Amino acid sequence: MKQTVKILVIEDEKNILNFITSVLVSQDYQVIPAASGGEGLSLASSQCPDLILLDLGLPDMDGMDVIGRIREWSAVPILVISARALEDDKVRALDAGADDYITKPFGNSELLARIRTALRHSSRMQSDAGPAERPYHCGGLVIDFEKRLILRDGQEIHLTQNEYKIVALLARHCGRVLTYDKLIEHIWGPYSENDNTILRVNMANIRRKLEPNPADPVYIFTEVGVGYRMADED
């Protein structure tokens, strides 16, 4: 099979790099290895990868800085793979522009699933002239952005204006974690207080209306201490 998807792997630990490379090559991805942040930035510019796997603990610079530098000129999906398991590190990486975050150690299936999600999201963003053109479909849930209409199993779900804004934003970025701060800024503005209480109240109301069982959600998942993730599309 022709290798058409290029993945830049910025990882300085050789055994982990070899493991990731083996997994990716077995799925017919083309791997571009980089052992430092500087090398990764150079290859990101010259090779134009379709996705970047990035370790945060690099020998020459912090991975957060790599994310910031890449985001100055590119929207390429960035998937962080790091041993840093603290919620603050996840939030910082996602707010800096990473698309997803996997904590080491991780399994083959999880890594490949996260890659597929990031690539699908990137493909949607490139193919759609605008985010409102194509409805979101997941199981029995349909969100029609143009009509501002939400249906579950054919029945219309009535949300408040802010509740709809939250659901629509999550659906447009389905499969990705949106941090509490990003959601709050988008819904209530950049000068709103950094207080998750109002967001949690809105989310409780959304789940009560949207989920078949609010205690066991199937559409909107909580990343504890980080944010929320909408289920990927069918």
Q: What's the CA gap between 43 and 28, in Å, rounded?
A: 20
| pLDDT recorded at residue 193 | 64
pLDDT value of position 1: 39
Name the CATH architecture for the domain at 136-230: Orthogonal Bundle (1.10)
Q: Which part of the chain is CATH 1.10.10.10?
A: 136-230
Q: What's the order of all strands across the beta sheet hosting 227-230?
A: 177-179, 227-230, 220-223
**Sorting pLDDT into bands at 50, 70 and 90, what band is 74?**
confident
Tens of pLDDT, residues 173-201: 898 889 998 888 888 766 566 668 888 88
User: Is-above-0.85 flag for pTM?
Assistant: no
CATH 3.40.50.2300 residue ranges for the chain: 6-127
Nearest CA-CA partner of 105 in 197, 1, 13, 215:
13
**Predicted local distance difference test score (pLDDT) of residue 113:** 87
Q: Is the pLDDT of residue 123 over 90?
A: no
Domain 6-127 in this protein, CATH class: alpha beta
